[in-house]
Structure 1
Amino acid sequence: VESTGLYSDARILELNSYENRVYQIGIEEAEPIIAKFYRPDRWSQDQIIEEHSFTQELYDHGLSVVAPTQIDGRSWFEHEGFIIALFPRRGGRAPAVDDLNCLEVLGRFIGRMHNVGAASHFEYRPVLTSVDYGEISRSFLLDQQFIPLEVEEAYSSVTEHLLAMISDRFSSIAATRLRLHADCHMGNVLWRNEQAHFVDFDDARSGPAIQDLWMLLSGDETSRQIQMKSILTGYRDFRDFDPIELQLIEPLRTLRMMHHAAWIARRWDDPAFPRAFPFFNTQKYWSDHILELREQWAAIEAPVITLID
């Protein structure tokens, strides 16, 4: 960090982050900064630059995102094989998931963000597909023998059927593809002064608009319907939304579940992961995971969420 010209006062606090290493670092005679050390070999330099360019573009359009600090025109730095980005420290609390006014504000923000996202395209960052999130995840878990033999056939069978269903659903819906946050859940939103402030664009990629909306929903079906109406009320103040994309919610949820299991497995050699996920890679974990996937089978076949008037 000091190689960028900043001088630390040696107050260093490790922050909660599994994929990367993130620290709050005190700076002499200035506010502390946040230093993010990217996990090696996950993203290329070009992909990281695109992430930074996208967040800066959003910031330049008046959106409250935490964009990386630029020093001498650069937003990233390299030291001993690590790519590092520095961010201003921003505070806030988690949004109230049951506050419909809050959800409407989030919808407005995301509508504006998607207008910016649709104005250009990613050249290097990936596209959200059933292959990337689903098929590759499935193959990794089976090939690396993470699935216990006792339930391997059950996992193989249910995921094969799910991926076929998901592929058919994606093929039948011509959703517009745009640049997304792509990991847009309440944990990546800071609420301050009645405004939403979005952080962590590390997973930014291209995909359908609904990917940045469905993870904000919680509770039972009726609650989710009411919440989605509030989100879309705000969203449509700035951008049209095609309700056919609601048919992608359960397929996207299924892909996220499969991808999450494979993500932990890929990081299992990192000592931080067994400490954080002690329940992973046990017979019970995989049995429960298969049960959840079977429930998703039913959810995909069930009637699509409708908006309550």
Structure 2
Amino acid sequence: MVRGRIRRLGVAGVITVLACGCAAQHGERHTTTSRSEAAPGPAGEPHYGAAVPRLGSGSLSPAVTGKTVLVVGDSWSASIGQGMSEVGASRNTVVNAGLGGCGILLPVGKETPEACRKWPTRWPSYLQKYKPDAILLTVGFWDVTPQRLAGDKEAHDLTSPAHETAFRDRLNQAISLLTERNTPLYLMTSQQAGHPKYRSSALVMNRVLREASAKHPGVRLLDLRGQLCNDDGCPQVLAGTQVYDPTEHPTKPARARLANWALNAMFTKDGA
């Protein structure tokens, strides 16, 4: 598994990172300024039907003002965090600590950048430093791909019972660290459930995420998969918006709409 370079972009007068799916970026960046309710299908995944999802809400609620949000996880977290900065940094603080190429499983080997191994110590320091009002964690790409954990001779994905257990244990560790100050934590499902190659593993991840959000007080699920995909897959265009850029991350308009949706879900009563 090859993980490439950082791509640094200047956004709204600050430096942020839009990492490709194989990028590694280091350190935090400080910017001041429809879930389906249908019956569950395989592995607890809701049945979404053939309707094209909304791709987030249209605008940021006025209620999202004076808030501090900490974003941690992988490059999808970094991208959505960048979107949060773009739509809300004029009246909120977004601490974007998403790291491209980083999940939480901590596989062995040189394919895992050193920065990816430091989240158990870095994340608590971010909480102490920034005292966020809400936290977003997304690990929906790297942790569904085959990885070689300690003791493995070959790489396996989350369909391996041992890897599912390891992911659940790491997720519980992350939840424990991120909710230590009783800060609301939001987990995002993996849209890779719409990818034939990763579907089975992503369905396991999404089931574990749903179980965790139901089990832990203060933890909520943001159904990214439900925002981007239907039962037939994850279309390239939703409601006239091109969803993915060449790195398979959200385009600027798509990440803005996802950022509005996520921030509204965090800080408004109806999540609209």
- TM-score, normalized by length of structure 1? 0.28
Considering only CA atoms, is the larger Rg found in Structure 1 or Structure 2? 1
Higher normalized contact order (CA 8 Å, seq sep 6+, divided by chain length): 2
- TM-score, normalized by length of structure 2? 0.30
Query: Which structure carries more helix by proportion?
Result: 1
